[in-house]
Amino acid sequence: MEKYITESASGKWSVRFSKKIKNPRRLGAYDTLVLAIAARDKYLASVGEMALEQAEVNQSIKSKTIVGAQSVVFLADLHCPYQDDVAIDLACKILNRVQPDLVVFGGDVIDFYHISTFVSDPKRRDTTQDEIDIWKKVARKIMAATGKSRFIMIGGNHEARLYRHLCSNPGLFSLDALRLPSLLGLNELGIEYVDADLELFNQKLVLKHGRYYSSIAGSAVKKEVGTRAWQQSVIQGHEHKLGYYRVNGPLWSVGGWSVGCLCVLDCWYSTEPQYWEQGLAVIASQGDFFNVENIRFDGDKVIFRGECINGNI
């Protein structure tokens, strides 16, 4: 039998892929094998069979589908205690204007400096408890900016520092008090923790922290979209810069957005602060159709929907 093609009991020829592939699972049923082969080959030529197989691998990544959110704000990379308070204020003012259904903290909300595998600066005075206290204060300010929103946090690579630290200290691993939701006070704050990618709008859009990094804005999210066989759009953080990528996928147009950070642009560990940008993403939807505004902050101000907003500390 031809690869990806099966004959149904009704005599039709179906083009279908692994169950790990979500969109499209099937290309359809055809009256003849020749038509089915032509449809399969046209699809594979547009996405590349290697990318399709890679997407099967990537679908093993945990994901959670969110329904009912028509407006979403995605912000990432606060890196408390290195958050930029002016950028936080700008984000709060945008949230106040949008009043979204859902606000997603896209990871790296805290730095976890002292449990990093990198060599620590002995002159640094902030403790891990200081970082947690600052994060809670910043989170409350952000949450107070909107009255009706649901809040979700996705873990980033800096939150993963805690997991690695506990793994290297197995005597502490079983303590519930040291789990990320407990340590960051997420239940107390009213923030849901999701250790997975978030899928929105009939799984057409994925929100995640990000696993690839590039000095060239948009390159990392381009790679992420490609590994999904150009079937899902992606918004991510991690790069600390704003970027955009779009391509006509096999079924619909897909895009990738890399949002800016909300930390200071001269963080101690930055090797390329001249490339970093601050900002966030605002997503609006109607059904499974959505539009993304990738908002860039310019120092202490931002232009948002025709209005110049100034930030304060």
Task: Note the pLDDT of residue 54.
Answer: 46
Query: pLDDT band at 63, cuts 50/70/90?
Result: confident
Task: Note the pLDDT of residue 281.
Answer: 97
Q: Which spans in the chain are helix H?
A: 33-47, 49-58, 85-98, 128-144, 160-167, 170-173, 180-183, 186-189, 219-227
Report yes or no: 24 and 17 within 8 Å, Cβ to Cβ.
yes
Rounded distance between C-alpha atoms, residue 188 and residue 245, angstroms: 38
Mean pLDDT (whole number) for 25-43: 78
Higher pLDDT, 118 or 183: 183
pLDDT in tens, 174-186: 788 888 899 999 9
Higher pLDDT, 70 or 64: 70
Q: What are phi and psi of 201, to 5 degrees?
A: 55, 65
pTM for the full predicted model:
0.79
Q: What are the extents of the domains in the chain?
A: 5-58, 63-310
Q: What is the mean pLDDT of the chain?
A: 85
Given the structure tokens 């197995």, which residue do they identify? 170
Least confident window among 32-36, 60-64, 178-182: 60-64
The CATH T-level fold of domain 63-310 is Purple Acid Phosphatase; chain A, domain 2 (3.60.21)
Task: Note the pLDDT of residue 235.
Answer: 97
Higher pLDDT, 45 or 188: 188
pLDDT in tens, 291-300: 999 999 999 9
pLDDT in tens, 47-58: 655 455 544 544
Task: Note the pLDDT of residue 60.
Answer: 47
